[in-house]
Chains A and B, each alone.
Chain A
Amino acid sequence: MDDTFPRGRTAIVSNATYGLGEAPGLSSMDLAAHASVAALSRMGLTPADVDGVFIGLPDDYLSGLTLSEYLGIKPRISDNNRTGGSAFQTHVAWAAMALAAGQCDVALIAYGSNQRTASGKLVQSNRPSPYEGPYRQLLPISSYALAASRHMHLYGTTRRQLAEVAVAARGWAKLNPEAFMRDDLTIEDCLAARLVSDPLGLRDCCLVTDGAGAIVMVRADRARDFTPKPAYVLGAASAVTHRDITNMPDLTVTGVAEAAPRAYAQARVKPADIDVVELYDAFSINTILFLEDAGFCPKGEGGRFVENGAIGPGGRLPVNTNGGGLSCVHPGMYGLFTIIEATRQLAGEAGARQVADVNLAFAQGNGGMLSSQAVVILGSEATL
């Protein structure tokens, strides 16, 4: 059957973040509720106006019920899809279809985590595999390191090129007052940092922070009632390739290679049309893999593509303009924050890091060990 995704028929009309960095004394749900109320109130809405709830917290299996109870929402539609950090892109896809089909009128997509102040470690909602566990890989970094080792072997990708990714992210973070890490970072700093799981070192790894985010979606015919610059949902697609890294068919090809072409087709755009690219950079290798798989450069060329500051401020392609998971925020699952930054760039709300003339934004989420990939393409009114 033809793909009948409701291109441009729904829009993100509000976004909010809360407690990025450290937010002591608040639970993950407290943080998600803060962000939710903030996103709603910007548009004159209250929780009582919401009838579609989308959330997935790592520490609450039934978080869709909890958020509804907490905020007094009576959802007609709720979705707790948990594909890891890509869950929020899948929430946008399902919210778009539910809104377009009249199954809800106001969709709230929210996330929060207190993992920095609560535990200081990346929260793992993984069950250990009996076939991987005895080998004591550091999860999740070793799985990503295995992918990086393979990419280096096949394509000659270097640690210096990985460092370019981290330095570019820091360059954007320095322009973002919300970013957690804003001090100077050089290629040499990255290369000198201690190795954690070869070939990945400390500066190749995302932050461990608290933080929450929320977005509000409505049908396009109401979008302009809420904001002069809605982010219209033009396409949203996802793919699952495996669960544990051992079972990833090719460690240098992610599910973005499947999901992105479907999202482009829904949106009727091509990679060269995209103005800002927000990728889930849990580790520096991610950015290189996803740039390739999303068609911004050929397979194997990602390392060379990012050289010489090409994806930093003033480079040829603006990537992870909030500073990414590497330098802005990474509260366990980061996918919603790529959507929020894409929305802000489209709305012209991005302050010193605002990219000029943004009409098309690409927001990607990664879940598990490169296991689940999901892509959302957002556009300005001019793209409808």
Chain B
Amino acid sequence: MGYIRPLQDYMEFLSKGKLMLLRSRSTGGYVFYPRVAEPRTGATDLEWVEASGRGSIYACTIVRQRPPTPHYNVVLVDLAEGPRMMSTVVEMENEDIRIGMPVQAAIIERDGAPLVVFKPANT
């Protein structure tokens, strides 16, 4: 592809099972969410690189629903590469999620679209 199409490229990669970040060739800085220039430096020499998927929980909330609709969690994850993303933790009770906990990304399908979620990491 000739140029960065932030959301479109990102979603195409996700649909192929890849969580991708942008990285500046000149500064080495990782960028997420995807955009056409690196914040602060304005560097536009960005390329897509696959994320390790490793991260840790930075913040967490449980969204309460009226029963019988199940409650669900919303978290912020600090990725090993530096950027932060919003996500949700699966395969774990909401109440057991801890800030600082190591997690690993997985891509699932929800509502017909790929979605990045995180599972507790095996450490």
Contact = CB atoms under 8 A, between A and B. Distances in A.
Contact of B33 (A131, A138, A146): A131
A244 to B, nearest CB: 8
B115 A134 contact: yes
Interface residues of B, number: 23
A129 B32 CA distance: 13
Contacts, number: 69
Contact of A137 (B58, B63, B84, B85): B63
B19 to A, nearest CB: 12
Interface string A124-142: 0000011110111110001
Contacts of A257: none
B72 to A, nearest CB: 7
Contact of B74 (A129, A135, A147, A153): A135
Contacts of A142: 61, 63, 74
Interface in B1-44: 7, 33
A146 B63 contact: no
SS class of chain B's interface: helix, strand, loop or mixed? strand
A136 B72 contact: yes
B62 interface: yes
A27 interface: no
A197 B63 contact: yes
B113 A147 contact: no
Contacts of B59: 146-147, 149-150, 153, 251
A146 B76 contact: yes
A220 interface: no
A195 interface: yes
A205 to B, nearest CB: 12
B86 A149 contact: no
A198 B7 contact: no
B104 to A, nearest CB: 17
Interface of A: 129-132, 134-138, 142, 145-147, 149-150, 153, 194-200, 245-247, 251
Interface of B: 7, 33, 58-64, 72, 74, 76, 84-88, 99-100, 110-111, 113, 115
